[in-house]
Amino acid sequence: MNNDFLELYREHLSPALTRATQLVFEKGEGPYLYTTDGKRYLDFVSGIAVNQLGHCHPKVVAAAKEQAEKLIHCSLILGSYPSAVRYAKELAKVTPGELNMFFFSNAGTEAVEGALKLARWKTRKPCFIAYQGAFHGRTMGAISVTASSASFRARYAPFLPTIYHVPYPYCYRCLYGGQPETCSLDCLEEINRLFKYQTTPADVAAVLIEPVLGEGGYIVPPVRYMKGLEQLCRDHDILLIFDEVQTGFGRTGKMFAAEHFNIVPDIICLAKGMASGFPLAAVAASKEFMGDWTEGAHGTTFGGNPVSCAAGLALLEVFREENILVKCNERGSYFKKVLQGLKNKYPVIGDVRGLGLMLAVEIVDSKGQPDGETCSRIIAYCAEHGLLLMKCGTFKNCIRFMTPLNISRAALDEGISIFRDALKSVS
């Protein structure tokens, strides 16, 4: 049966989408996925950091079913409905600071487009500063600020003009040869250099940053860097946009990664974990900031879908009822310790990093250089033995672990044991 589906896929679905495996899935339950030929896989991908509560959490399923029986779609353009306004109200309680107004859309890339548009609309300034290594999506605006892989951009130029990319604070491979203890934040200084040579701050609408780099390698920036960046933005009257598409909804152990730095950005982009697997995204800002975005200045047919919003409400309820953040931090620190232990034993692991359950290891060769091939072999071994993992990083040499935030210790240990065997097999 699997082969029939694969053939049909090849016949009718575009080859442009990367496919990490050739598996054909039939159902998901908690941390497990099941293929059409009856095999069970432990899923440490979670729909690419989406399924914070695992697959098909009963409360999410019930809420979506109940909503689908009443109203599936009518468009927020035609009129409003309870699930969307209730979700916005609940969301406002958990977003940082006064970020209490939302423009709903469907995917991360749309949230980024919306944020860029809002920033230009508010400031009437043309330029943006974004990061080498950043991933913000595949639509034309989002790909213009994305710089995690040149291959994503090949043959799509010209991009949005007036985007300037600066280095992300990637301390493990510091571009300036620095060490954390003696770091003088040369990477932050790049922005001042930019202001000297390429653009004046008066032309820059916003700095767009992932508070933990996602596709670019699960890199956690130093607090000093983030604080310095916040100050620089304030000093020059430049907006600060956090792309929390991957880091949001508890993934890093806080509801939003901004909290790790005690920063309230002007705008945040949300998607992925927002509705437990249903498509939903948002641009978030304060009412004071977003409240004068004039009617018709932005739009969407599907954004804020009633079923997605009902699932989002259920997600927030489960977060409260089941202490999801506490669980995420417990499991995350346990898992990170185990990975650090494995690093001491297996030199192919050059670095262990991440926050909460947004964890990764960087795979290196004997000279400490990125080793994408060994990384692929480890992932292939794990898949063969029933554990699904995915890569990240510009050098395609990092393995990221995106378990459900409520994963049990037993399931976590099952995954760790397969991963340990994979390390043995390549060492």
Ligand X SMILES: Cc1ncc(COP(=O)(O)O)c(C=O)c1O
Here's the x/- map for ligand X, 248-277, by CB under 6 A: it reads as -----------------------x------
Q: Would you state the structure tokens that stand for residue 311, as one six-digit string? A: 């699932």
User: Is residue 99 involved in binding ligand X (CB under 6 A)?
Assistant: no
Contact 121, 155 (CB under 8 A): no
Question: Going by C-beta distance under 8 Å and a sequence separation of 6 or more, which residues neighbour residue 293?
Answer: 103, 118, 121, 122
103, 106, 139, 146, 233 from 142: Cα distances, Å: 17, 14, 5, 6, 21
Q: State the nearest-atom distance from the C-beta of 147 to ligand X, in Å.
A: 12
Residue number, 247 or 406, with CB nearest to ligand X: 247
User: Is residue 107 involved in binding ligand X (CB under 6 A)?
Assistant: yes
**Within positions 129 to 168, which residues make up the interface with ligand X, using CB under 6 A?**
135-137
Helix axes 409-426, 324-345, angle to 10 degrees: 20
Contact 355, 220 (CB under 8 A): yes
Question: Going by C-beta distance under 8 Å and a sequence separation of 6 or more, which residues neighbour residue 406?
Answer: 52, 53, 54, 322, 324, 327, 328
User: Is residue 215 involved in binding ligand X (CB under 6 A)?
Assistant: yes
Residue number, 145 or 418, with CB nearest to ligand X: 145
Which of these ranges, 13-21, 240-248, 289-297, 303-311, lies near ligand X under the rule CB under 6 A? 240-248
52, 282, 305, 324 from 315: Cα distances, Å: 9, 16, 15, 10
- What residues are paired with 102 via a beta bridge? 284
Residue number, 151 or 179, with CB nearest to ligand X: 151
Residue number, 15 or 291, with CB nearest to ligand X: 15
- The residue at minimum Cβ distance from ligand X is 108
# chain residues binding ligand X, by CB under 6 A: 14
Q: Is 58 exposed, middle or buried (0-12, 13-18, 19+ CB in 10 A)?
A: exposed
Residue number, 242 or 381, with CB nearest to ligand X: 242
128, 130, 134, 139, 226 from 145: Cα distances, Å: 8, 6, 8, 10, 19
Residue number, 215 or 371, with CB nearest to ligand X: 215
User: Is residue 241 involved in binding ligand X (CB under 6 A)?
Assistant: no
Nearest to 327 by CA among 357, 359, 283: 357
**Within positions 174 to 213, which residues make up the interface with ligand X, using CB under 6 A?**
210
Q: State the nearest-atom distance from the C-beta of 366 to ligand X, in Å.
A: 31
Using CB under 6 A, pick the residue from 28, 31, 54, 214 that binds ligand X: 214
Using CB under 6 A, pick the residue from 53, 76, 112, 171 that binds ligand X: 112
Here's the x/- map for ligand X, 364-403, by CB under 6 A: it reads as ----------------------------------------
Is it true that the peptide bond before 161 is cis, omega within 30 degrees of 0? no
Nearest to 189 by CA among 227, 228, 162: 228
Nearest to 392 by CA among 342, 354, 339: 354
**Within positions 314 to 353, which residues make up the interface with ligand X, using CB under 6 A?**
none
Using CB under 6 A, pick the residue from 52, 123, 246, 394 that binds ligand X: 246
User: Is residue 303 involved in binding ligand X (CB under 6 A)?
Assistant: no
Which of these ranges, 88-96, 102-110, 114-122, 389-397, lies near ligand X under the rule CB under 6 A? 102-110
Which of these ranges, 104-112, 258-266, 282-290, 379-387, lies near ligand X under the rule CB under 6 A? 104-112
Residue number, 36 or 132, with CB nearest to ligand X: 132
The radius of gyration computed from the CA coordinates of the chain, to the nearest angstrom, equals 21
Residue number, 233 or 257, with CB nearest to ligand X: 257
Using CB under 6 A, pick the residue from 43, 243, 266, 351 that binds ligand X: 243
Amino acid at position 137, single letter: G
Tell me which residues touch ligand X (CB under 6 A).
Answer: 107-109, 112, 135-137, 210, 214-215, 243, 245-246, 271
